[in-house]
Every structure is written in structure tokens, then in C-alpha cells.
Chains A and B, each alone.
Chain A
Amino acid sequence: MFLELADVSRRFGGLQAVTGLSMAVAPGTIHGLIGPNGAGKSTVFNLITGVLPVSAGEIRFRGERISGLRPSEICRRGIARTFQATALFRESTVLDNVLVATHLRAGRGLLATLLGSARYRAGEAAARERARALLASLGLVGAAALPAGALPHRDQKALCLAMALATGADLVILDEPLAGLTTQESEDTMAALRALRAEGTTILLVEHDMRAVMGLCDRITGLDHGVRIAEGTPREIQDNPAVIEAYLGAEDTRA
């Protein structure tokens, strides 16, 4: 299996945020993770990307155990993510933001940098080329020289995606990629995500816009109180009584 969570749990002191979660993400699919607020979706993302250590269980990527590795090591294996709050290097230019993310593939080493070896320069040129292509594909090339913090919200979200992709990841994990976007912007982003899937990138996402999730995802896992309550195609999930109850219950308490 591509990405596999086996009986994963996470406690915060006395709070059981995720309990015995098992799920699998198939390569080349868009997989949705849904659930009411506080269901543990973001925690699951943090566990997969190594931002938080698991309390129990194991996470495997391409058959290798990744739980327990540092986030940078997990990224190196091919998993990149975006954060719920748009996380950017706000003072750096848009291009530099993406260049940092091409880090894994570019030439490194102190001596190579200092001497400007041919290999280092070739690596840098390739990284720039790649970064520009990515920015162009997401409609950001005109903003390359602006500080990232000066971009409008839509472009900041697009930049976050560009950065995740620039790492060369095969699995991209998106925490609410559509939050705060207008209908048109959402449509554009969804088209971009479908195009990514067509190129072979696997996507795991959390999103509150149910219409978008149902239209976009190949497979969906439903989560409530840190427990998996459903898994299936969008159609199966839509009719799943546990999911409906979780959401209606959540809406009841909110009202």
C-alpha cells in the first residue's frame, strides 16, 4: 500500500485525540478526510508528517515505517503538506519560498556552494527553472519577486501548494485547501488538484466544503472523536448513517 496507518493512536495528556485509526491511501487518488470540528483530522496530518509523534501504532509509506522519523526525513521520502493556517516565509519573495522547498533536489554542501562548482550551479539553475514552472502553472509567475506576505489570500494558498509540490513529493497532504476562497477560486483550485492527480500525484486532504469533497475525492474516510466511523466512495459516505449522525450531532450542538 502507498500510505498506511495501522492502529494509530495519539494522546494529549488525558485527551485521546486519535484512537486506533487504521486507513490506507491508494496511489494516484484524491483521498478525503472528513469529520466535525475536533474530530482529529489535523492531528492525523501532524502524525503522518511527523510534526507530532504517535502514541501507539505505526504509519508506513511505500511499505516503510515512517512514524518516529523527523518531518524533514518524512518529506525526503516523498510526503509534503500544507498547513491549515497559510504558512509561508512571509518576508521572503514568492520565488524564494518555492526555492527553499526545492532544497531536497538542489546542490548542497558548503564547499560546493563556496566554490560555485559546476554541479552546484547546474542544480541551482534546475531548481530555479522548476520553481518558475510551478509558479507559472499556478498563476503566480507575475508575483515571483513580491514578498510572500504581500500576496492576496488566494495566491498565498496557491503558493503553499506550489511549495509542497516543489519538494518533489508523491503524496501531498492539504489541510483545508479551499478555506476562505471564493466559489470561482475554489473551482480553479479543484481543477488544479485534478490536474495533479492526472499527473500521478496522490492527494490526501481535509476540507469542510462537503460539495467540493464529494466532487473531488475518489475515496473518503470519516472521523469522529478520533475514531474512524466510515470509509468508502463519496456516494457510500453520503448515505452513511454514522457520518450523517456525526455531522447532524455536531450541528445540533452548534445551533
Chain B
Amino acid sequence: MIRGRRALEPVVGFGLLAAAGVAVPLITRDSYHLDVATATLRNLLLTMSLRHVMSTGQLNMALVSFMGVGAYASALLVTRAGWSFWAALPVAPLLAALAAVPVGRVALRVSGPYYFLITFAFLEVLRLVFNNLFVSYLGGPSGLVEIPQPHSLPLTAGAVAFTTKLAQYWLMLVLFLGSAAVLIRLEFSRLGLVNSAIRQGELLAETLGVDVTRYKLGAFVLSAFFAGIAGVFFAHSQQVLHSSDFGLEPMVLLVVFTVIGGAGSVWGPVVGTVVLAVASELLRELHHYEILVYGLVLMVVMLFFPEGIVALPGRLARWLARRRARGTPAVGASVVP
């Protein structure tokens, strides 16, 4: 019975994601809408990555830095080394993952608030590097400009180009769905099981034979890789990179999206990111207060639904079941022999 649910949930969930992704361009071709949808997909990729590393109990505040590594690496590979976008697409995220290995190793020497502070410090350090060092390469405070759009797909003789908003949307959708497939698959595998166990009881997991540090580092590096993919797309769709794109504010937004949706479930970041993207569009007049509103919503969620929006239907169902069960004798006790 559980097995069936386990087998079905990832397939159905991924199917819904893919269907929704394909449906967007069928509903609207408005360039602004496509912009918002593309940015939402990019954020989804980032929040799902963030949730992956959070599933092992790590609130990695430097995730967006690895998006930055992917972005700058790809931009430099294409503009300076003359690489094709399609060569940089896998290599730049690998560089982001590579950079994550030593950072993760250092951060994982501590835990709890110290871990948070170390990753936060790294976020700031790297932002300052982007901003102030290697100015001739990274563009300095005025940013790295003139990054080309994604080249047209090789072997199609220019037939599949990515110069329009629509084409870029499709590209981002493919990148997102490919990454989401991996993250969802892992969540419903033994790895997801072990990651969740580590989050719930690190010492217990360790004494049961789980090399906790290795698993945590693995999650750290894998999430950096996917953030790197988001970075590559970001670099070539925006065509301009600025250090503030990889600073505290975008990072806090990712945390807010993820936590409001619910970091306990692989679907949590999806719900949180989409709900807040839609809400932010509906409340566009309040744009100046966006962060303020997010902060308030985050506080309310933390206080009243710490498991996030995604857990609300389950909570509601349990509440209803309790109400209904009030008249009848308890059934739960008989389950246990």
C-alpha cells in the first residue's frame, strides 16, 4: 500500500509539473508573462536545490553563490575562451559543484547556527569577490556585460535558436524538468530516506552506519551543481551579471519561498515559489514592500504552519478526521498488535 503511494507520487507530481510547464506558452505568449514564467522556473530550480540540501538539515545560505559561480564561469568560458554555450552548459555547473567541495567541507566542521554563519559569510565574501576583484574579468561594480544569448542548438543549422522569450522559456523548462526529475527521483529513493533520517537524528543515523558527513557534503555539492545550471541560464538570458544578483537578498527570497512552501516535502518549494510568484504579480503595486510582506508571511507560516503550505491539506484532513472520530471509538490503537 505504502509502496504504491511511493511509486505513484513522484510520477504524478512530475507529470503535473511538466504539464503546467508546457501549458504556460499555450495560454499566453505575452512577453511579460513569459518573462515572469521563465524567472519562476529558474527560481523553482533554485528552491528545489535549496530544499535538497535542507533535507539533510543544512540551511546553506551560500547556495546562490554557486549559482553565481555557474553564471560567471559560463559567461567567461563563452566570452573569453570562445566556448559554445552548449559546452559551457554542463561544464560551468560542474565548476560550481567543484567549488562547493571545499566550502562544504569547511562549513560541515560545525553545525547549527555556526553552519549558518559560515555559509552566510561565504556568500558575502564571494559577492565581494564578484564585485571588487579581477575587475577586468568579472566586470567589477558595474557588472559583467555583453554576455551572448544561448547559441542556436548545434546540428540544427540555426533552426533552433534562443533569441526569443518563448524559445528561452522552453530552454529553461527543459533545464528545470531535467533537474527536477533527478531531485524528485532521489527524494523518493533510499537517498531521500537517509537524508531525512540525518535531518531528524544525525547521531542516530551515524551509529546506524550512515557516513553523515559524506551524505551532507553530497547534498551540498549536488545542490550547488543545480544552482550552477540556474546560473548558466541566468547569465545568458539576462546577458548582464552583477554581484548583487548573488547576494543576501536573492538568497533570503529563496529561503522564504522554500520555507513558506514547506521544506519537509519535495513539493514544498514548488508550492511556495509558485504561490509567491503569483502573489507578487497580483500585488505589483506593493512592490516596494515586497520584502516586508514576505517577512510577515514567513513569520505567520513559521508560527502557525511550520511545515509550510504544502502540509496544509494533510493537517486539514487530520483535523476533520479527528472531528469525525469524536463520536466513534478510537481506531488507531487497534493497528498495533
Contact = CB atoms under 8 A, between A and B. Distances in A.
A72 B200 contact: no
Nearest to B207: A71
B284 to A, nearest CB: 38
A127 B194 CA distance: 14
Contacts of A113: 185-186, 189-191
A54 interface: no
Interface of A: 49-51, 70-73, 75-76, 80-81, 83, 87-93, 95-97, 99-101, 103-104, 106-108, 110, 113-114, 124, 127, 139-146, 150-152, 155, 163-164, 167
27 contacts: A51-B203, A70-B206, A72-B211, A75-B206, A75-B208, A75-B209, A80-B208, A81-B207, A91-B200, A97-B197, A99-B193, A100-B197, A101-B208, A106-B190, A110-B186, A110-B218, A113-B185, A113-B190, A113-B191, A114-B185, A139-B337, A142-B336, A145-B2, A146-B335, A152-B336, A164-B208, A167-B208
B128 interface: no
A89 B204 contact: yes
Contacts of A110: 186, 191, 218, 222
Contact of B194 (A70, A73, A93, A103): A103
B196 interface: yes
A143 B335 contact: yes
Contacts of B196: 89, 91-92, 96
B185 to A, nearest CB: 6
Interface string B172-211: 0000000000100110011101101100110111111111
Given A89-B196, A113-B191, A142-B336, A83 B208 contact: no
Contacts of B207: 49-51, 71-72, 75, 80-81
B336 A104 contact: no
A164 B207 CA distance: 9
Contacts of B190: 99, 103, 106-108, 113, 124, 127
A75 B186 CA distance: 24
B91 interface: no
Nearest to A145: B2
Given A72-B211, A113-B186, A114-B186, A151 B336 contact: yes
A29 B335 CA distance: 35
Contacts of A127: 190
Among A73, A87, A95, the one with the most B-chain Cβ atoms within 10 Å of its Cβ is A87
A72 B201 contact: no
B149 to A, nearest CB: 31
Determine chain B's interface SS by DSSP, over half rule: helix
Nearest to A91: B200
Contacts of B208: 72, 75, 80, 100-101, 103, 163-164, 167
A56 to B, nearest CB: 23
A72 B194 contact: no
A90 B200 contact: yes
A142 B336 CA distance: 6
Given A103-B194, A106-B190, A145 B210 contact: no
Given A95-B2, A113-B186, A72 B193 contact: no
Most buried by A among B186, B190, B194, B197: B190
A1 to B, nearest CB: 22
A125 to B, nearest CB: 10
A88 B209 contact: no
Contact of B209 (A76, A139, A152): A76
A104 B182 CA distance: 23
B210 A103 contact: yes
B59 interface: no
A107 B182 CA distance: 18
B209 A103 contact: yes
B193 A92 contact: yes
B211 A70 contact: yes
A89 B209 contact: no
A91 B264 CA distance: 10
B214 to A, nearest CB: 9
A95 to B, nearest CB: 7
A114 B211 contact: no
Contacts of B282: none
Contacts of B159: none
Contacts of B332: 150
A89 B201 contact: yes
B1 interface: yes
Contacts of B264: 91
* Residue picked from A96, A100, A107, A164, most chain B C-beta under 10 Å: A100
A100 B191 CA distance: 9
Nearest to B1: A145
A51 B206 CA distance: 9
A96 B193 contact: yes
Contacts of B206: 70-72, 75
Contacts of A89: 196-197, 200-201, 204-205
A127 B210 CA distance: 15
B333 to A, nearest CB: 8
Given A72-B206, A142-B336, 17 more contacts: A51-B207, A71-B203, A71-B207, A72-B211, A75-B207, A75-B209, A80-B209, A83-B204, A88-B201, A89-B196, A96-B193, A96-B197, A103-B209, A114-B182, A127-B190, A139-B337, A167-B208
A115 to B, nearest CB: 9
B190 to A, nearest CB: 6
